[in-house]
Structure 1
Amino acid sequence: MEKSRPHIIIEGATEYSLGDFDGKHIAYDFSKVLVYLEAKGKLLFGRNFQIYDEDKEILLKLCNYMVRDFDNCKKFDIDPDKGILLSGPVGCGKTSLMRLIRHIVPHQRPYEIIPARNITFAFNHIGYKIIEEYGNGRFYCFDDLGVEPLGRHFGMDCNVMGEVLISRHELYQQTKIITHGTTNLNAEELEERYGKRVRSRMRQIFNLIGFDKSTRDKRT
């Protein structure tokens, strides 16, 4: 991306236009964004990557959120000042899309994608310092929320990601720093996993965007 042409992204020797730039604002063209995302997806995930027609509605919501298109966010009932919790069945492409869409806004601070299970494993070795670390002011997307094991450190059990989410909620209230996540679980299952207190806070920090439960496994 060039400062004078923020609507242009260069990958190798190829330029991709994401829309039109009037000197102050970018008017994004979703069809052009899709062309770029498919090309970038092949670079990130291999030449067999493709964007499926059935996923374009989800992508449209995610893209409007990322570029902060306030009119379309309102249309889709998305709060651009909250994070995204992307839900859907195993293998539907949640993690890939969250890895991919951050590239359409290279001028924004990127979020780091961390598997929730890795945070729990780190807690088992290091302890409560890990909860403080991931409750800090960095930008994260917690991958596969709700299926990580229970944490255990020096004989004490801990719902590690539940505690991290409470810390991220406090961070959001104080600084408006957002958190993203992906999950295979629905709202009821998340409440069963983390409890009503955490589920209530998740509603306050996340926009829930969900794949249809019948979405096929793209890894098979």
Structure 2
Amino acid sequence: MDNPSKIVEGGVTYSLGRFDGCCVHYDFSKILVYLEAKGKLLFGSHFELFKKDRKILLQLCSYMIRDATTCAKYDIDINKGILLSGPVGCGKTSLMKLLRHLDPQRRFYEMIPCRNVSFGFNHIGYKTIEDYGNSGYYCFDDLGVELPGRFYGKDCNVMGEVLLSRYERHNLSKGTFKTHATTNLNAEELESRYGIRVRSRMKEMFNLIAFQKHTGDKRK
């Protein structure tokens, strides 16, 4: 029987905790060792996890492994998606790309830049909203900085419409249809960009996990 507490990367076996034959008892310190190694494979040898981000990492990892006790401590609902916010360059996109590898037995969410969704609308119209709004397991990257959509002379707040469609599916699915996103915007800026109705739905769809606003740009 496969041991789900172990992951092999580059010929090296990493332990994430202890498997008792029924479930995995995760060890956060071992998870961090694996994530840093996987990050170097994905993004290059310069990749590192920072001590100042440990609280964010603990929350995200606890959500990904469905650690109900730790999630409850941080008021994280495992039936909602993740909205990861923070300043430009703080590592949001890299973390969401990385964390989907934490449990290879579950289906990966696909990372979709929001600008691509808007560009798609400009080319093929409302089918883009249907495609991204009604199906798929996605993390929408850089929510709020995409350009407005326009198709045959009609303007559309494309991601706002996608989120409304996914909210309806989220409600019908009772938490099995999840959406994740990253954003540089705060709550007020999201409301200004998408309107109060979408902002209200986002509160029901997402757990907000936020970097400190003064977090530095790690790409420098």
After TM superposition, the score normalised by the length of structure 1 is 0.98
Of 37-46 and 170-179, the range deviating more from structure 2: 170-179
- Tell me how far apart the structure 2 counterparts of residues 18 and 71 of structure 1 sit (CA, whole Å): 18
Q: Post-superposition shift, 1:165?
A: 0.1
SS of residue in 2 equivalent to 1:43: helix
C-alpha separation between the residues in 2 aligned to 1:13 and 1:77? 37
**How far apart are the structure 2 equivalents of 1:87 and 1:32?**
25
1:94 counterpart residue number: 92
| Gaps in structure 2 of 5+ consecutive residues | none
Equivalent of 2:164 in 163, 166, 174: 166
- Please give the secondary structure, in 1, of the residue aligned with 2:207: strand
Rounded to whole Å, the distance in 2 between the matches of 1:13 and 1:65 is: 27
Structure 1 residue runs of 4 or more that deviate by more than 3 Å after TM superposition: none
1:135 and 1:190 mapped to 2: Cα distance?
18
Considering only aligned residues, what root-mean-square deviation do their CA atoms show, in Å? 0.7
Aligned residue in 2 for 1:105: 103
Q: State the shift of 1:136 in Å.
A: 2.2
Q: Quick one: distance in 2 between partners of 1:47 and 1:11?
A: 15
Residue 137 of structure 1 and its aligned partner are, at CA, apart by 2.4
Secondary structure (helix, strand or coil) at the match of 2:142 reads strand
Measure the CA separation in 2 of the matches of 1:178 and 1:42: 28
One-letter amino acid matched to 2:182: T
Taking the TM superposition and a 5 Å limit, the aligned residue runs for 1:192-203 are 192-203=192-203
Residue equivalent to 2:182: 182
Select between 80-89 and 4-13 the one with higher mean Cα deviation.
Answer: 4-13
**Take 2:4 and 2:207, find their aligned partners in 1: how far apart are those partners?**
27
Aligned-pair identity (%): 65
C-alpha deviation, 1:13, in angstroms: 1.4
Q: Distance in 1 between matches of 2:15 and 2:120?
A: 41
String of CA shifts for 1:38-57, please: whole Å, max 9, x gaps: 00000000000000111111
Which residue, 63, 70, 73 being the options, matches 1:72? Answer: 70
Question: Is structure 2 residue 28 aligned with structure 1 residue 34?
Answer: no
Per-residue deviation, 1:210: 0.1
AA aligned to 1:183 is: T
Matched residue count: 218
Task: Tell me how far 1:28 sits from its aligned partner.
Answer: 0.5
**Deviations, residues 187-213 of structure 1 (Å, cap 9, x unaligned):** 000000000000000000000000000
User: 1:79 and 1:205 mapped to 2: Cα distance?
Assistant: 10
- Work out the CA distance in 1 between the residues paired with 2:197 and 2:41: 41
Calculate the TM-score normalised by the size of structure 2: 0.98
Rounded Cα–Cα distance in structure 2 between residues aligned with 1:49 and 1:4? 29
- Aligned counterpart, 2:136: 138
Q: Which residue of 1 aligns with 2:207?
A: 207
Distance 1:163 1:180 in 2: 15
